[in-house]
Structure 1
Amino acid sequence: MNNDSFFSIDRLVEFGLGMSMAQQMMNVMNESMKNMYVPGSIQTMPSSRPVATCYVAIDGKSVGPLSESEFSQMVMNKTVTKDTLAWMPGMQTWQPVERIPDLLKIVALTPPPLP
């Protein structure tokens, strides 16, 4: 066999290395696709960390601590909107929900009440 043949040792090594690189690229892409969240899909949104308890200001009074499900229920009932003031541990001042990413995510993903 000469070195220009597909079956030469050099070509087989190149082919093996190419297949190995392709498989590694495929594994990385598959892992990325598994971790990707697509709004409206059946899969749940991965949470890197749970939402800490929060407090909201309703009618000038502090309500809380609220769990994520309690907060979500208040959003569904339209008691809490993106303009509602909220506070979470670690924050210095009360801020609108739209400025707190963990809470805004819940507001954005909570479906409206059934008609």
Structure 2
Amino acid sequence: MPQIYSAILAILLFFSVLPSQAETDITEKKSDQQQQLQSILRELDQATKQRQQQNVRLETLSRQLECNWTLIRAYETCGQLHGNNPDKHLKCSTEAKQNATQCLENNEEK
């Protein structure tokens, strides 16, 4: 009889260890998944910040391009209006350049 009790006790101990091992495995997997999720969230946050910076830069470049196109059109207009009069052409072109400079400076302030 003592052998039967010993065998039953051994079986009970064996089966009581199995659930704790399974719980340990589940806990380890959960911890690994949480670490992976945190890593992905950090990468996503970093990518979001980079995209926001790129969007700001894109907006700045777009406004600069608009200033430059305005200058080009103004130079063309000066040429059409004052092509035969160098003094008026120079005055018009200088004013266009000043306007473009002001446009670009206002762009930097934003």
The reply to whether TM is greater than 0.5 is no
TM-score (norm 2): 0.39
Higher relative contact order (CA 8 A, sep 6+): 2
- Name the structure with the higher strand share: 1
- Name the structure with the higher helix share: 2
